Chain A
């Protein structure tokens, strides 16, 4: 590797990149669009579940229970009916996700001190919602008319994300997904474009080595990716008001290692294929898709079958997902993130060695 050749490649690549305003704009705007879309759309908090109440009792007590549902932030009273068919059709048409049936004699039984059964019908079509809604409903009903006494008292305390805001969990996860989606896409086109235009033949027919060529691409695209990190993080923390518990420097450093990996994947794809279209499709398939499914972004990895868990280790997104959430939510220090960070470093080195090796120095 000779410094002047590498320098020439980096300067050339940077100039081409800077003079391509469309690409630069896409590199900046696309991650932000994704951050906003997913930051708002991926909301795992269950709030304002639409409830319909079929009140056969129609007493102050039953109206009081109805009011309890209405005033809870987890529920929103959508329908009050005296016809069971209304409740049924509302559940079918998804106007409500939960129905509460208060039978006749509810108030009387309560006064007597008997068991007063209330039926809760939950739309199980979306299981997570159904499970949470029925648990919340049980809590509302259990505390009616007054909290019951029990011998054992549970005092649950939530660590790391005490408000249980899902956005605090989604945003640091999105960092892993976004940095896996866009930097490689940009870089994947970098080498292939030279193949398509034919300029690569000049590189082949010059003393430039494949390592120099690959590193010459990596540096400028790595810098663009680093800008993407900064932007996504500043907007993520400031706009969505996600508190960062750990060290921002450690997060930034790990993110930098991570984008080297993802940029490297882009270069690897680019060195293997011949057309820009193929480069884009393959990059999307090997980066974006697994980074959603196999990184633990939304679906915890430990619930997957073992084979898929093993498969998920192939994708670096999972390692950074843990680092990112660890630092942001749990204030994890270097010691805690080191194993994952090491994995990323090893991954990066492997990807580069492979890309430089696969990057042919000849037409065929």
Chain B
């Protein structure tokens, strides 16, 4: 067997019951290649990787990995590959060393090789100082690094990684990729599922996956070619017009495919090649138009037929409520036992501001929101929401706030209408008032024709809008959105952010958490959180300025710089 190809899949497909998750696909990966699998949540990335790793049997076609059939030769494959799943791959009660040693022994690594390799891996990952620490007490970034080590200790020929950067702070993510680069230099073949653009850019080749189909396959440049020359940004410039007016004009231009609403400009994707000056002629004089770099998201958008982000939107009455009506937190801390989930956080968000709370999993974003909503007790400091104190969780507070939780807390066994009814009644609205509130919320969220199905059978994009509608029924002054866009495709996300921007413009204060750092672009100001602490807080440009970065630095770069400025992430994550 003269070094068989790492992966050769023929007609590989998988369905669960009637649900086709991966449509039959042919794919082969060359030795030493780094392949990125990119797609929205639910596109089938994990299923594909599990089939490649031989731990999930295909329902159609076949796949050979390193020369072995994934159905019959799963154990031979297992001995030769590393597979890092998305979730927890470590034993919390075992120490760093014990986890690594366990991984080595079950993968038949002889003791002398283990000693030599473990030392090298631990040094490389920066875990050398923490060998006796239980895995449970490692930060998210360190856990990922240790997981990676456990999958490298047997020196696999092929490494399969499922969203290695998910929920990891940007600095740790950079370290993780530095490790991957060193192994790549040694000729290790890699298949990486990712939803991060910058990670995709580090791959030789990208498989763009959408609903189980390969949308595109090639290098990043090849993939982006169809969108080249079709992406523009527009702002009102010196015309004195608002974005809303501008978008009204764009709605009449045939070739505009989609409009994405950002704080101070609109981003357009055209459905045909158009020269910049041609487009400029269609716009009012004085508008500022510029060509923009295409992104992978634009490809998804181009695939959809309808013009998106252009839904009819009701004019919302602007209510200026003054500064004190927004959000104010002063030295706010929440402890769970000895663990400080939120550590002396202070910030202000005036009425009508759209504030993004950014940070990796476990940074304390959800706890902070829950404390502001009065759902968890505040141990130190204080918070005022729309002029009402957050302590105690009073009814006065609840009337002022809307809260959309991470998992869209809807009743899946009720229809959308029944859900809306229930939440209206829960907020004390009945009869005509309830109907009016529901109509208004449906109009705002674009849920004018809801299908008569159970909520559980709706797409995640529809569920997201329904959850938003439910949290808006009582017209809250402050809206909390906890990871509102996870699991939703880019097109639906554009529409969602448009609604959120309009709500903020009407005077509602909106606090959004997200771990998609790119989404920070939609927000007026950013609050960066790590390990319970607020690292930095301000508008993107002012933060870039204060950290000495270029004005157009990405949120990734900004976050990384903020962590570095606050001291190394690791030493702090590990505490005293």
Contacts and interface: CB of A to CB of B under 8 A. Distances in A.
Question: Do A and B associate with each other?
Answer: yes
Interface of A: 2, 4-5, 7-9, 11-12, 15-16, 19-20, 197-199, 201-209, 361-364
Contact of B93 (A8, A9, A16): A16
Given A16-B94, A198-B88, A363-B50, A8 B102 contact: yes
Nearest to B55: A204
Given A15-B98, A19-B93, A205 B54 contact: yes
A202 B105 contact: no
B81 A205 contact: yes
A12 B106 CA distance: 11
Contacts of A204: 55, 78
Contact of B78 (A11, A199, A207, A363): A207
B107 interface: yes
Pick the 8 closest A-B CB pairs, nearest first. A198-B87, A8-B105, A205-B83, A19-B93, A204-B55, A201-B85, A363-B56, A207-B79
Contact of A15 (B74, B79, B93, B105): B93
Contacts, number: 86
A197 B87 contact: yes
A4 B114 CA distance: 13
A306 to B, nearest CB: 42
A248 B221 CA distance: 78
A198 to B, nearest CB: 3
Contacts of B81: 205
Which of A5, A12, A208 has its CB near the most chain B CB atoms (within 10 A)? Answer: A12
Interface string B86-117: 11111111100010011101111000000000
Nearest to B98: A15
A232 to B, nearest CB: 27
Contact of B103 (A16, A197, A202): A202
Contacts of A203: 106
Contacts of B83: 201-202, 205
A311 to B, nearest CB: 34
Which of B57, B91, B98, B101 has its CB near the most chain A CB atoms (within 10 A)? Answer: B91
A198 B98 CA distance: 18
Interface in B52-69: 53-57
Contacts of B90: 199
A8 B100 CA distance: 11
Contact of B88 (A5, A15, A197, A205): A197
> Number of contact residues on B: which range applies?
20 to 34
B16 interface: yes
A8 B83 CA distance: 19
Contacts of A208: 106
B53 A205 contact: yes
Contact of B85 (A2, A16, A19, A198): A198
Interface of B: 16, 50, 53-57, 74-75, 78-79, 81, 83, 85-94, 98, 101-103, 105-108, 134, 150
A201 B162 CA distance: 12
A7 B102 CA distance: 9
B57 A207 contact: no
Nearest to A9: B106
Given A12-B91, A12-B98, 20 more contacts: A4-B108, A5-B105, A8-B106, A20-B93, A197-B92, A198-B85, A198-B88, A198-B89, A199-B91, A201-B55, A201-B83, A202-B85, A203-B106, A205-B81, A206-B106, A207-B79, A209-B75, A362-B57, A363-B56, A364-B16
11 contacts: A2-B108, A4-B105, A5-B105, A5-B106, A8-B106, A12-B91, A15-B93, A197-B87, A199-B91, A202-B85, A361-B75
A207 B57 CA distance: 17
B272 to A, nearest CB: 44
A362 B91 contact: no
B93 A363 contact: no
Contacts of B92: 197
A12 B89 CA distance: 14
Given A5-B108, A9-B106, A205 B78 contact: yes
Nearest to B86: A198
A19 B92 CA distance: 10
A207 B75 contact: yes
Contacts of A11: 102
Contacts of A207: 75, 78-79, 106-108
Nearest to B111: A4
Contacts of B102: 8, 11-12
A357 to B, nearest CB: 16
B70 to A, nearest CB: 10
Given A202-B85, A202-B103, A362 B74 contact: yes
Contact of B89 (A5, A19, A202, A363): A202
A101 B394 CA distance: 69
Contacts of A15: 93-94, 98
Given A12-B94, A363-B55, A202 B108 contact: no
A214 to B, nearest CB: 14
B518 to A, nearest CB: 27
A7 B106 CA distance: 9
Contacts of B134: 19
A205 B55 contact: yes
B58 to A, nearest CB: 11
B94 A206 contact: no
B189 to A, nearest CB: 16
Given A12-B94, A201-B89, A205-B83, A364 B108 contact: no
A231 B47 CA distance: 48
A5 B102 CA distance: 9
Nearest to B162: A201
Contacts of A206: 78-79, 103, 106-107
A19 B150 CA distance: 21
A364 B71 CA distance: 11
Contact of A16 (B55, B74, B91, B150): B91
A12 B92 CA distance: 11
